[in-house]
Structure 1
Amino acid sequence: MTLSWFQIFRLGLVQMALGAIVVLTTSTLNRLMVVELSLPAILPGLLVGLHYGIQMTRPHWGFASDAGGQRTRWIIGGMVALAAGAFLAACGVLVLESTFAIGMAISVAAYALIGLGVGASGTSLLALLATTTKPTRRAAAATITWLMMIFGIAMTAGVVGSLIDPYTPQLLIKIVGIVVLTAVALTCIAVWRIEEKLVAVREADPTPFREGLHQVWQERKARNFTIFVFLSMTAYFMQELILEPYAGLVFAFTPGQSTTLSGAQNGGVFIGMLTVGIMATGLKIGMLRNWVMAGCLGSAATLALIATLGPLGPGAPLMPAVVALGFFNGMFAVAAIGSMMALAGEGREQREGTRMGLWGAAQAIAAGFGGLVGAGMVDLLRLVVSDVQAFGSVFLFEATLFIAATAMAAKIMDRRLPSATLIPGE
């Protein structure tokens, strides 16, 4: 048996819950550290980089769940760990106001827990989708679940942005608590008894983890796609930790306004993903390769626009530019995700989870690396130039990475096929 459309939608609720929790740590808490607590941007960059770095364990989670019949426990357990980590991270921000050392210790433990939770839950969910979705539905399933994740991010950012002003520590704890408890409950409902109806429980593969990972790395398609994911996602995530501080320091946005800005950006991502889903998957217009390239080039152009708005200061149309950035980000991302879902089932059997874990690890490392480099570059440049010049220079550098990702997509993605498969051959 394979997943029905209703079951695909149910699993998308898990992605929505993941996005809802993660956006709190990468936008709201990040903004509070940099602007309200006047901490250097590199500090939340290091914390977010920690949780992404720990997601290097994604291949191991995927490999462990490849035994069959075990993905549900990893999905729920990972979500519980993620929720606990996010709540602890909010507590850490409050403690940082009074005791830096203790606050940092709490924050480090929290973000480590977040990394483990996202890795276990997210990888197992994607592997379950890849192995139980009919091949002809995989691209559509990827679109649906990612749209739901972006919806969760945008909705959470928008609602939190409207509720958190005027900001108080007590209000922050209350809001984060409600979000994480809702996410855990939604996850349990979403995955309840789905796997046992679709997957026959099989014995664990006796192959050692390192050997299994090596087998996947030897597959040319998997290896090339891993490199592309790392480059493109480094570009994608460089602005994640600096966009809200940019809005606060250069355009005088309040905490609520900057959180709403993040929600608007992810709203743009949602529209971009929906556009590609309808055009490429529904109407069969254009190849995913071309959608990836168009999204990367559009992202580069809008980043350049955001950089040029800095000298205008408060009152500049930052919001529309950020929504446009989200639109092109979503266009590129969903086309790449469609490729990922299609490629997960290619090659050696019983390695779907390992492949998803490998690509998830590449994305996580790139996200942590990109966010850390972006924040670090801003801090260094602010020592010698104005805030406007510092942030603008980083946005322009990010744009060049998107152009490089475009060139790589043109090289490794097969232009002859309607789906984004990589060049044939091993």
Structure 2
Amino acid sequence: MTMNNPVMSWFGIVRLGLVQTGLGAIVVLTTSTLNRVMVVELAMPAILPGALVAIHYALQVFRPAWGHGSDLGARRTPWIIGGMAVLATGGFLASVATAWMTTQPLFGIALAVAAFCLIGGGVGAAGTSLLVLLAKRTDDNRRAAAATVVWVMMIAGFIVTTAVAGHMLDPFSPLRLMVVSGCVSVAAMLLTIAGVWGFEGHAMTSVDQRARGTAQQSSFRAAFMEVWAEPRSRRFAIFVFVSMLAYSAQDLILEPFAGTVFGFTPGETTKLSGVQHAGTLIGMALVPSIGAVYPRSRGNLQIWTVGGCIASAIALLCLTAAAVVGQAWPLRETVFMLGVTNGAYAVAAIGSMMALVSASGEKREGVRMGLWGAAQAFAFGIGGFLGTLASDVARYLLSSSALSYSVVFGSEAGLFVVAALMAVSVHRAPARRVMPQGNLRAVAVGG
């Protein structure tokens, strides 16, 4: 951490967390509440909200380009505020589109597609620049704790929004839906402005000026290929994809698994998800808490990342056994353990992301963070789909629901083991591409 980029206080970290709170509030309303309204109140096919959420994830492929744009300006605040404005607009238009579907379904669906494109673009632009800013201003030993604070504040946004919006939406009407969504979007914008206003100042530091000069000398394609050529950045992107694929693949099958194999009612499966989320919060808090007691472990994010992946694999293997044993297995305790291990892995992985973003120098930080964010979003986008597809295929081939779930959970455990091995290779890789001396001139002129 250089003197040109002063270290943030805890108050500064919490301020940036306000942005994540606002982001989470809009996203949970559009991906959860509107999902339910479309399927239940409007009797639309479930594939419609599923496709809209997929559009939101597909737009994340442009995260490296948005990161490159913030590198060009060398200031992240305009991208954070601008991205949140796009997200807030998309969130409100999504509610308008849902209300419009009650009278003009085709026009409503068309508007919803445009709205979810805005949502995906806003999340990517604001989220990428926010993580770069957080990484640059956070001390090495605080990164795991900073990641915990920011992500817990995002989850708090989920919880508060669903609770308040759920209360305000009854009795349901399309107009009430638009009013609630509009209020959430305005609140998210206010939180974002409060979080970043004056944070970077108006004058660029000497480091920022050098980074801006470097970024302006090359196109996005050249910048992206430069980052992709860095062994550590490339390996970390692949690690993020594999581990997040394993992380997300169980999301859509856990509740059906509990209902099919263990006979849980819909209410009981919902409570089971709550048990998992509670475990995730505890796991997120575990990493910085142990770091406070044992300072030597505080900055060693590689050990926490590898350990989190291995522990998540063990928890998934326990679910594999649960599918075979059946109702005699302590399912709630196993799901809680899965939440704890996933939470510890997630915080360590995010902390590693923040630590590695400047590992190759004070340039291309937005492109690197965008690359890793795109890998994460792409994994989330296809993870749930592949999890359900694998479950259906295994059920068809094995003619047993329990065995099919066992195969899927076991496969996810295998992915986490692969991810753990990849996490080890990430830190062994050089930060920059090693080239013969004769090639340096060619690279310098863009060859």
Normalised by the shorter chain, which TM-score bucket? 0.7 to 0.9
Mapped pair 1:235 → 2:240: no
Deviation at 1:301, TM superposition (A): 4.1
- Over 3 Å counting, the alpha-carbon distance change for 1:196 and 1:330 in structure 2 is same
Deviation at 1:388, TM superposition (A): 7.0
Partners of 1:9 and 1:177 lie apart in 2 by 25
Partner of 1:417: none
2:302/2:352 contact within 8 Å kept: no
- Counterpart of 1:362, as a letter, is A
Unmatched 5+ stretches in structure 1: 415-421
- Over 3 Å counting, the alpha-carbon distance change for 1:73 and 1:284 in structure 2 is same
- Over 3 Å counting, the alpha-carbon distance change for 1:260 and 1:128 in structure 2 is farther
Unmatched 5+ stretches in structure 2: 434-447
Partner of 2:439: none
- Counterpart of 1:211, as a letter, is A
Partners of 2:71 and 2:396 lie apart in 1 by 49
Deviation at 1:400, TM superposition (A): 3.1
Equivalence map 1:247-262=2 (5 Å): 251-253=264-266
- Over 3 Å counting, the alpha-carbon distance change for 1:423 and 1:210 in structure 2 is closer
Mapped pair 1:188 → 2:188: no
Partners of 1:79 and 1:392 lie apart in 2 by 41
- CA RMSD in angstroms comes to 3.9
Deviation at 1:54, TM superposition (A): 0.8
1:69/1:195 contact within 8 Å kept: no
Choose from 113, 119, 129 the match for 1:114: 119
2:279/2:340 contact within 8 Å kept: yes
- Over 3 Å counting, the alpha-carbon distance change for 1:338 and 1:281 in structure 2 is farther
1:248-272 CA distance string (max 9 Å, x none): 8874425xx8777656544332221
Structure with higher Rg: it is 2
Mapped pair 1:345 → 2:358: yes
1:154/1:264 contact within 8 Å kept: no
Partners of 1:161 and 1:264 lie apart in 2 by 20
1:290-310 CA distance string (max 9 Å, x none): 322332233334445557777
1:122-165 CA distance string (max 9 Å, x none): 01111222233344544443333233223333444455567767
Partners of 1:54 and 1:155 lie apart in 2 by 27
Mapped pair 1:283 → 2:288: no
Partner of 2:135: 130
Partners of 2:37 and 2:409 lie apart in 1 by 21
Deviation at 1:35, TM superposition (A): 6.5
TM-score by length of structure 2 reads 0.78
Partners of 1:139 and 1:206 lie apart in 2 by 34
1:49/1:372 contact within 8 Å kept: no
Partners of 1:216 and 1:88 lie apart in 2 by 36
TM-score by length of structure 1 reads 0.81
Deviation at 1:76, TM superposition (A): 1.1
- Counterpart of 2:111, as a letter, is I
Choose from 67, 73, 78 the match for 1:73: 78
2:95/2:178 contact within 8 Å kept: yes
1:162/1:260 contact within 8 Å kept: no
Partner of 1:49: 54
Deviation at 1:374, TM superposition (A): 2.9
1:179-232 CA distance string (max 9 Å, x none): 332211111111111111674374552211111111111111111111101111
Partners of 2:292 and 2:203 lie apart in 1 by 25
2:309/2:345 contact within 8 Å kept: yes
Partners of 2:94 and 2:222 lie apart in 1 by 36
- Counterpart of 1:85, as a letter, is G
1:292/1:409 contact within 8 Å kept: yes
Partners of 1:381 and 1:30 lie apart in 2 by 27
- Over 3 Å counting, the alpha-carbon distance change for 1:243 and 1:335 in structure 2 is same
2:68/2:366 contact within 8 Å kept: yes
- Over 3 Å counting, the alpha-carbon distance change for 1:262 and 1:16 in structure 2 is farther
Partners of 1:177 and 1:410 lie apart in 2 by 45
2:360/2:431 contact within 8 Å kept: no
Partners of 1:400 and 1:165 lie apart in 2 by 44
1:272/1:326 contact within 8 Å kept: yes
Mapped pair 1:297 → 2:310: yes
Partner of 2:338: 325
2:236/2:423 contact within 8 Å kept: no
- Over 3 Å counting, the alpha-carbon distance change for 1:87 and 1:324 in structure 2 is farther
Equivalence map 1:10-409=2 (5 Å): 10-31=15-36, 42-68=47-73, 70-94=75-99, 101-157=106-162, 172-196=177-201, 199-200=204-205, 202=209, 205-243=216-254, 251-253=264-266, 265-280=276-291, 283-284=294-295, 286=297, 287-303=300-316, 321-377=334-390, 394-409=408-423
Identity percentage over the alignment? 48
- Counterpart of 1:14, as a letter, is V
SS of 1:113 mapped into structure 2: helix
SS of 1:346 mapped into structure 2: coil
- Over 3 Å counting, the alpha-carbon distance change for 1:181 and 1:258 in structure 2 is farther
Partner of 1:419: none
- Over 3 Å counting, the alpha-carbon distance change for 1:173 and 1:166 in structure 2 is same
Partners of 1:198 and 1:297 lie apart in 2 by 45
Partners of 1:171 and 1:386 lie apart in 2 by 45
- Over 3 Å counting, the alpha-carbon distance change for 1:79 and 1:242 in structure 2 is farther
- Over 3 Å counting, the alpha-carbon distance change for 1:424 and 1:125 in structure 2 is closer
Deviation at 1:176, TM superposition (A): 3.5
